[in-house]
Amino acid sequence: MTAPTGTRGRASSDDPRVMLDEQIGVFEPIPPYPPRTEREAEFYTLRDGEMFINIGPQHPSTHGVLRIVLKIDGENVVDLDPVLGYLHRGVEKLCENADYHQAICYLDPLEYVSSLFCEWPAVMAFEKLLDVEVPRRAEYIRVLSSELNRVASHALFMGWMALDLGGLTPILWSFIERDEIVEMLAALTGQRMLFNYFRIGGVNGDLNHEFLSRLGDWMGRATAQIESNTALLNENEIFVRRMRGLGTMDSETALRMCMSGPNLRATGVPFDLRRAHPYSVFPELEFDIPTRTEGDCLARYLVRLDEIKQSLRIIDQCLNEMPDGPVMAKLPRLLRPRPGRAYAGIEGPRGQYAAYVVSDGTDQPFRMRIHDPSYLHLQSVGLLMPGHLIADAMAVMASLDPIMGGVDK
């Protein structure tokens, strides 16, 4: 096609049929439309010496499909714009079109490294709506399996953290730990990652021999094994120097940015939903809430290490005090809860997981809202990253431990 010539004698760049030579292969992250907000206008204005760099959605260290447009000046991050939604599946809407039993299985893939924690708040909210009394054995099994899942999640976090800092080995070592736990949970629930194990009024099956033998086998060496795995990082001068004092956040800011879980406890606030708003059988169990006051990346990492030890304590107590009895409450096949609303929140490996359910009396939830901590943690990258180097930006993001499945829902 010949390019139409305009009045000024050259092809107009507004003509959609014309592709000007100099524009071929120029991929600027600046959107083609005029800025819609003041913030957008400010972000997409480049000062002298600055440039945009696109981190993600396909990037080795973005933990999924997070895209961050970084505005950098040399190696320094000046500003950033996280772009979410690459993994949006409409889980909440899907749950509203399924009945109460079916809704649970949609929640597993939200956080694919700690699936049990996504099921639990929804199941608890449904139980509140239905006024179901969960058998004590089922509660103990829930605590036992979910604490195992927490250890697996934290083990994976340590590996990822090291991988984002350039260490090759810890990720594979922590996958060993995680694989053992995941295999024993597979023996219990039938699935390796997306367990779909909790049911309204109990769990989907009693403890079995394979699970218990694997668990007993692992518990004997878990502490020593985890400590030997983490020794490679904790005593590494390069690792500690990179993490200490990086991405520091004080407790007020953390509370204002709606942080929860280990990220909040790393700033010195001993807020743990298992103690603050006790649920299930946690009031009967003995465990500490590890906190740190520094609020930097190293503190976030170390708090998670301490939490692993507390989780092992809880697992030990659960095994000792496991009561006899049924694992499911007696429930009708078709559930029609009373019209009303219910909220339930639990403490997960990343923070506060919660579900808010509105029932209109039919067998499907009228409205279901899922609260995920990763999303709220991700909003503080705007505070933590600017002023640091690109390498530190990756470390900060890894220390917040977001899972994109939960962020985009």
**Number of other residues whose CB lies within 10 A of the CB of residue 283:** 9
| Nearest approach, Cβ of residue 395 and other proteins (Å) | 9
d(CA 95, CA 87): 17
Tell whether residue 125 is a contact of other proteins (CB under 8 A). no
What the block records as the tokens of 262 is: 């280990």
d(CA 54, CA 69): 5
What the block records as the tokens of 178 is: 């995680």
User: Contacting other proteins (CB under 8 A), which of 101, 128, 242, 277?
Assistant: 242
Tell whether residue 389 is a contact of other proteins (CB under 8 A). yes
CB 231 within 8 A of CB 237: no
Residue with Cβ nearer other proteins (134 or 162) = 162
Which of these segments, 122-130, 142-150, 177-185, 235-243, binds other proteins (CB under 8 A)?
235-243
Tell whether residue 276 is a contact of other proteins (CB under 8 A). no
Tell whether residue 24 is a contact of other proteins (CB under 8 A). yes
Nearest to 157 by CA among 213, 114, 219, 94: 114
φ, ψ for residue 97 (rounded to 5)? -105, 15
CB 255 within 8 A of CB 376: no
d(CA 335, CA 317): 34
| Nearest approach, Cβ of residue 48 and other proteins (Å) | 17
Tell whether residue 334 is a contact of other proteins (CB under 8 A). no
Tell whether residue 26 is a contact of other proteins (CB under 8 A). yes
Side chain identity at 81, as an amino acid letter?
D
Contacts of other proteins in 156-175 (CB under 8 A): 162-169, 172-173
Nearest to 151 by CA among 223, 84, 45: 223
Which of these segments, 23-31, 209-217, 270-278, 358-366, binds other proteins (CB under 8 A)?
23-31
CB 387 within 8 A of CB 192: no
Tell whether residue 44 is a contact of other proteins (CB under 8 A). no
Tell whether residue 241 is a contact of other proteins (CB under 8 A). yes
What the block records as the tokens of 161 is: 């953290």
Contacts of other proteins in 50-79 (CB under 8 A): 51-54, 59-61, 75
Which of these segments, 34-42, 45-53, 206-214, 354-362, binds other proteins (CB under 8 A)?
45-53
Residue with Cβ nearer other proteins (281 or 393) = 393
Which of these segments, 108-116, 316-324, 371-379, 384-392, binds other proteins (CB under 8 A)?
384-392
Tell whether residue 221 is a contact of other proteins (CB under 8 A). no
**Residue labelled with tokens 């600046």:** 30
φ, ψ for residue 16 (rounded to 5)? -65, -20
Which of these segments, 31-39, 268-276, 311-319, 386-394, binds other proteins (CB under 8 A)?
386-394
The DSSP string of 303-357 is HHHHHHHHHHHHHHHHHHH---S-SB----SS--PPSEEEEEEEE-SSSEEEEEE
Tell whether residue 394 is a contact of other proteins (CB under 8 A). yes
Tell whether residue 30 is a contact of other proteins (CB under 8 A). no
Tell whether residue 231 is a contact of other proteins (CB under 8 A). no
Residue with Cβ nearer other proteins (3 or 231) = 231
- Residues of this chain that interact with other proteins (CB under 8 A) are 24-26, 51-54, 59-61, 75, 162-169, 172-173, 176, 232-233, 236, 238-239, 241-242, 389-392, 394
